[in-house]
Amino acid sequence: MQLRVAMNDIDGSDRQGATADARLAAIVDSSFDAIISKDLNSVIQSWNQAAERMFGYTAEEAIGQSVLMLIPDHLKSEETEIISKIRSGDRVASYETTRKRKDGALISVSLTISPIKNGDGEIIGASKIARDISAAKESERRIRLLMREVNHRVKNQFAVILSMVRETSKRSNGPGEFEELIRARIMALSRSHDLLVTSEWAGASLFDLIQEHLKPFGLEEQILLSGPVLTLQSNAVQNLGMAFHELGTNSSKYGALGSEGGRVEITWTIGSGAHAPGSAGEREFQLTWEENCEPHPGDRRDQTTRKGFGTVVLQRVAPQSLGGSAILERSPGHLKWQLSAPLASIIVAQAGSEADGVSPGFGI
């Protein structure tokens, strides 16, 4: 009777052990992390499905092979250090490193390594849990790039604002006018900034930029846009944004956007480099703002002599910052601004193919 009880206990213990082993195997096999075991010679002993997905090797291909096949040449010393610590019973802290897939691609991983012991407590190998952190690393890289870009842009914005304050104060008739002008110009910078933030500083559509800066002046039905679809570099967004604000402000006071019968046409084209600054054959961006309206009564000034901050932006700041040139023509009831600059200083590199698709004219 006692023997029967003892045998039942043993059978129950075996069943419990088998159940625990099966449960552990199921957990390992269903894990989203790669779980690999190896002996003290770095030979792979087990390989779960997540390891197949992460590294590209099937279990049949991996088991029996050295784990060194997953380690880039310049990092193979890591395995020597790991095995040395495992043999000595030392703890191996989790760490981030790089591993190699079957197709040769490198991936960023976080590794957790633990010793494997036999029934006598002797260390016979190690288990390795690898988590793919490539997405997290790429996100960190993008954040660092964006922070550097933001830092650069903020410093640049400070310089632009200081220049605005200095030039606007020279050309204002009093504190009230100065406050009004400087507030409007800083808000214009903010609108360009918002477009860049929305795209994570990847650039902004030329159409969106024009629309954003002319929206405050209204009279959208009097504005016609025509040109190819272009994505502007951040520097071009800032400087063209300033130009559009000054042109819109001037137009609302003296030109087409200040009268019901006025009309503004904004066109841009991509031309050959025959007349472009720089090397021969360089593609050129050309933009024209032209407006016509009835001359304002009583405004008989020769407008070519007016040298406000807007004129400085249109004739010097915007074209020089883009490596190009500009022509500004003014007369009562008419204004024309033409900008020419190398295409490479205007659009983002990956958007080069966009320059071939031309959109029809449309109002904003």
Q: What is the pLDDT of residues 106-120, one digit of tens each?
A: 999 999 999 999 888
Both 163 and 241 in one domain: the answer is: yes
Q: What is the pLDDT of residues 238-287, one digit of tens each?
A: 999 999 999 999 999 888 998 888 999 999 999 876 444 444 557 999 99
Both 173 and 93 in one domain: the answer is: no
Asked, for residue 317, whether it belongs to a domain, the answer is yes
The kind and range of the H/E element at 198 are helix 175-198
Asked, for residue 3, whether it belongs to a domain, the answer is no
The amino acid occupying position 61 is: E
Q: What is the pLDDT of residues 302-347, one digit of tens each?
A: 444 446 788 889 999 999 999 999 999 988 889 999 999 999 999 9
**Distance separating alpha carbons of residues 103 and 178, to the nearest angstrom:** 64
Asked, for residue 258, whether it belongs to a domain, the answer is yes
pLDDT for 307 equals 64
Both 119 and 172 in one domain: the answer is: no
Average pLDDT over residues 28-40: 82
**Distance separating alpha carbons of residues 249 and 95, to the nearest angstrom:** 58
Average pLDDT over residues 185-212: 88
pLDDT category, 290, cuts 50, 70, 90?
very high
Both 153 and 114 in one domain: the answer is: no
Tokens at residue 142, please? 């993008």
pLDDT above 80 for 357: no
Task: Supply the range of the domain harboring residue 125.
Answer: 31-132
Residue 47 CA: distances (Å) to CA of 22, 25, 53: 16, 11, 11
pLDDT above 80 for 24: no
Task: Specify the CATH number for the domain of residue 332.
Answer: 3.30.565.10
Asked, for residue 175, whether it belongs to a domain, the answer is yes
Which of 87, 107, 132 is the last residue in one of the domains?
132
Residues whose CB is less than 8 angstroms from the CB of residue 209 and which lie 6 or more positions away in sequence, other chains included: 192, 195, 232, 237, 240, 241, 244
Both 169 and 271 in one domain: the answer is: yes
Both 182 and 35 in one domain: the answer is: no
86, 40 contact by CB (below 8 A)? yes
pLDDT category, 234, cuts 50, 70, 90?
confident
Both 36 and 165 in one domain: the answer is: no
Ranked by mean pLDDT, which of 50-59, 88-97, 138-147, 182-191 comes out on top? 50-59
296, 258 contact by CB (below 8 A)? yes
Average pLDDT over residues 43-50: 93
Both 36 and 67 in one domain: the answer is: yes
Asked, for residue 252, whether it belongs to a domain, the answer is yes
Task: Specify the CATH number for the domain of residue 110.
Answer: 3.30.450.20
pLDDT for 296 equals 66
Both 97 and 165 in one domain: the answer is: no
Residues whose CB is less than 8 angstroms from the CB of residue 115 and which lie 6 or more positions away in sequence, other chains included: 86, 89, 123, 125, 126, 127
Asked, for residue 105, whether it belongs to a domain, the answer is yes
Both 113 and 181 in one domain: the answer is: no
pLDDT for 165 equals 84
Average pLDDT over residues 68-91: 92
Asked, for residue 359, whether it belongs to a domain, the answer is yes
Task: Please give the mean pLDDT across all residues of the chain.
Answer: 82
Both 321 and 176 in one domain: the answer is: yes
Q: Which long-range contacts (CB under 8 A, 24 or more apart) does 297-301 make?
A: 299/254, 299/332, 300/332
Which of 62, 97, 132 is the last residue in one of the domains?
132
pLDDT category, 360, cuts 50, 70, 90?
very low
Asked, for residue 308, whether it belongs to a domain, the answer is yes
More confident residue, 198 or 236: 236
pLDDT for 7 equals 38
Q: Count how many domains the chain has.
A: 2
Both 127 and 255 in one domain: the answer is: no
Q: Is the pTM of this model over 0.85?
A: no
More confident residue, 354 or 99: 99
**Distance separating alpha carbons of residues 25 and 35, to the nearest angstrom:** 11
